[in-house]
Amino acid sequence: MSHSARRPSSRLVRPEVGSITLATLTAFYLIAFTNRTFFNRSFEYFDNHLSLAAFSLGLSCLFAAFTIAISVKYLMKPVLILMVLSAASASWFMDGFGTIIDVDMIRNAATTTTSEAGHLITPAYILHMTVFGILPSLMIAFVQIKHRNFFAKLRWNLTAIVPLLLLALACGVSGARSIAAVTRLHKDLILTLNPFVPVGSAISFALASEADKNIVAAPLGTDAKVAGPTASGKPRVLIIVTGETARAENFSLSGYARDTNPELKKRDITYFSQTSSCGTATAVSVPCMFSNLKRSGYSHRAGLANENLLDVFGHAGITTEWWENNTGDKNVADRTVMHSFSNANDPRFCKDNECLDDVMVGQLDTWLSNVKGDSVLVLHQLGSHGPAYYQRYTPEFARFTPECSTGEIGTCDRQAVINTYDNTILYTDHILASVIDKLKAREDKIDPAMIYMSDHGESLGENGLYLHGAPYIIAPSQQTHVPFVLWQGAEMKASVDAGCLTKRAVEEASHDNLFHTALGLMSVNTSAYTPKLDVLSACRKPASGANS
């Protein structure tokens, strides 16, 4: 055999494809396979089928125009792959849970814990990502793209982009009236456009986070002073339980048919039945409820730029502490003593870096025994955090069956999901009653009170929605109507007119009230206090002297 004879090549042949062709195919893939929620809602919202067709065709043209515009050598593949992977992940949560991936949702995801994230990264999610994200990305990476020189590419790209933009414009004009009406009435529609909204939200979050690093909190309530000692001379003790994902709709105290509050109803509590949250996700609601900005004035940056309730207590000389058993304090306890229970080594209540809320209750006796002066303790619950509701309570609270014993709640019957969620409310009822009992048992030594407020609610399949985090402007009541419980020891309760408080409890309340009600309970005088936002202010007897 001649040495000059060529040996057969063993190299894998990679197919060649033009940049415009690959861009157009990717655009079609994104539209057809990762926008089910967007088009389902479009079919629901549009009455005029011709307008819907024009809307859909116009958006398809815009998708294609964008992917062609970024078909630049060395840039095209990474961007297309990023879009495909982002769209695949976003479509899992949007299609399965009705989640909208806006900036607040990205922030909530970025500040979560690995254990919480683990409940969302299920085998079904991994399979979905493999089929709709990884395999298409590998195909994009595998093919060879035929690129022209710069000027030829510019000419060919414009030849494709300009007609696409003109067609999109024509579609927009032809269906302008219907499109404008639908998008104005249903603001959630454009928020489900995948992957542009999720990717845009992630970029906005990243840019804002970099700027947030330089923010220094401005002092608040530096004039704060405790009005004076209690009549008995005992120290005031306030425990604030910041709940997680409890919705008022499933509290029997709110009229829910199931008895989900059997223990609280036996305690001498006041339940504020018309309470609304500041946000629909922990990363928004928790810092908002501890601020004095109110929902109307709150933003993530404004929250970072101002001190909060715990700082005002500190200025007044009140001992404060934050106990964390959730996904973090969201910067509220930056200047406060904080103790995390997520990694507590207590086999009774802890597993895989998560602990049931009993782990905090078990430490309360020691903390209360060491109280020397006016003190405030915040308990940040794990509560009803989903989707793994079945892991949020001990076996004796599994009273409503059958349960959904998996984090993949989409595979469960909806009633089983509700049963499991209701069991978490039963457990929270027990936790709150236990806190009250421990405070009441020490009334000979302290003047106690407890406030419970959930940070936000939860969707359990209503209108196809699950979990939480919907943009507030379109959020259902299940995500914004939250439970608010107040318990006062005998001395504090004696300073309040009972009939007045009963009437106040059925009026509107919100997270805006926490800051000022807590200051009132601790008898803190400060310019940061607004009496009308203290739910007890109008009901206090003149002799109490608290913030009068």
Per-residue pLDDT tens over the stretch 34-92: 999 999 999 999 988 899 999 999 999 999 999 999 998 889 999 999 999 999 999 99
Position 548 confidence tier, pLDDT thresholds 50, 70, 90:
very low
Angle, to 10 degrees, between the axis of helix 19-33 and the axis of helix 135-142?
A: 180
Contact call for residues 428 and 383 (beta carbons, < 8 A): yes
CA dist 127 to 122, 124, 218, 223, Å? 9, 5, 48, 57
pLDDT value at residue 353: 80
pLDDT band at 546 (very low <50, low <70, confident <90, very high): very low
What dihedral angle (degrees, nearest 10) is formed by the CA atoms of 106, 112, 115, 117?
Answer: 0
Per-residue pLDDT tens digits for 391-413: 999 999 999 999 999 988 989 99
Looking at the predicted structure, is the pLDDT value of residue 331 above 50? yes
Structural domains in the chain (count) = 2
CA distance linking residue 364 with residue 1, whole number of Å: 88
Whether 543 has a pLDDT exceeding 70, the answer reads: no
pLDDT score of 438 more than 70: yes
Q: What is the pLDDT of residue 103?
A: 87
Coil vs helix vs strand at 299: coil
Q: Of the residues 176, 211, 246, which one is the last residue of a structural domain?
A: 211
Residues 251 and 148 in one domain: no
Question: 472 and 422 in one domain?
Answer: yes
Asked whether the beta carbons of 516 and 531 are under 8 A apart, the reply is: yes
> By residue range, what is the domain housing residue 43?
16-211
Beta carbons of 218 and 305 less than 8 angstroms apart: yes
Q: Could you give the dihedral angle defined by the CA atoms of residues 19, 20, 24 and 30, in that order, rounded to the nearest 10 degrees?
A: 40
Specify whether 205 is located in the same domain as 68. yes
pLDDT at 545: 42
255 and 172 together in one domain: no
Determine the Cα–Cα distance for residues 311 and 486; give it in Å rounded to an integer.
Answer: 22
- Whether residue 245 sits in one domain with residue 199: no
Out of 163, 178, 211, a domain closes at 211
DSSP state of 12: P
Start-to-end CA distance of the chain, whole Å, equals 107
Q: Which amino acid is at 545?
A: G
What one-character DSSP code corresponds to residue 149?
P
Answer for the pair 317, 383: CB distance below 8 angstroms, yes or no.
no
Q: Are 184 and 244 part of one and the same domain? A: no
- Bridge partners (DSSP) of residue 237 are 375, 448
pLDDT at 297: 97
User: How many residues are listed for the chain in this entry?
Assistant: 548
On the question of pLDDT at 440 being above 50, the answer is yes
**What is the overall mean pLDDT for the chain?**
93
Q: How far apart are CA 289 and CA 432, in angstroms?
A: 19
> Residue 451 maps to which CATH number?
3.40.720.10
Cα separation of 38 and 194, whole Å? 8
Residue 336 lies in a domain: no
Of 159, 179, 211, which residue sits at a domain end? Answer: 211
Average pLDDT over residues 303-309: 97
353 lies in the same domain as 285: yes
Determine, yes or no, domain membership for 494: yes
171 and 245 assigned to the same domain: no
Buried b (16+ CB within 10 A) or exposed e, 424-452: bbbbbbbbbbbbbebbeebeeebbbbbbb
- The verdict on 244 and 96 lying in the same domain is no
Claim to verify: residue 290 and residue 158 sit in the same structural domain: no
Q: What is the pLDDT of residue 1?
A: 45
Q: Please tell me the distance from the alpha carbon of residue 328 to that of residue 261, in angstroms, as a whole number.
A: 27
73 found inside a domain: yes
Whether 329 is covered by a domain: the verdict is no
More confident residue, 331 or 211: 331
Same domain, residue pair 280 and 197? no
182 and 260 share a domain? no
Give the pLDDT of residue 6. Answer: 54
Domain annotation covers residue 325: no
287 φ/ψ angles, rounded to the nearest 5 degrees: -65, -30
What's the rounded Cα separation, in Å, for the pair 499 and 491? Answer: 17
Domain presence at residue 155: yes
Would you say residue 328 lies in a domain? no
For the whole model, what pTM was predicted? Answer: 0.88
- Indicate whether 442 belongs to any domain: yes
Note the pLDDT tens digit of each residue in 143-198.
999 888 888 989 999 999 999 999 999 999 998 989 999 988 888 899 999 999 99
pLDDT, one tens digit per residue, over 501-516 is 999 999 999 999 999 9
Q: How far is Cα 483 from Cα 474, in angstroms, rounded to an integer? A: 20
Q: For residue 535, give both structure tokens.
A: 């739910």
Confidence check: pLDDT of 123 > 80: yes
Give the 3-state DSSP-derived string for 398-409, with helices as H, strands as E and coil as C.
CCCCCCCCCCCH
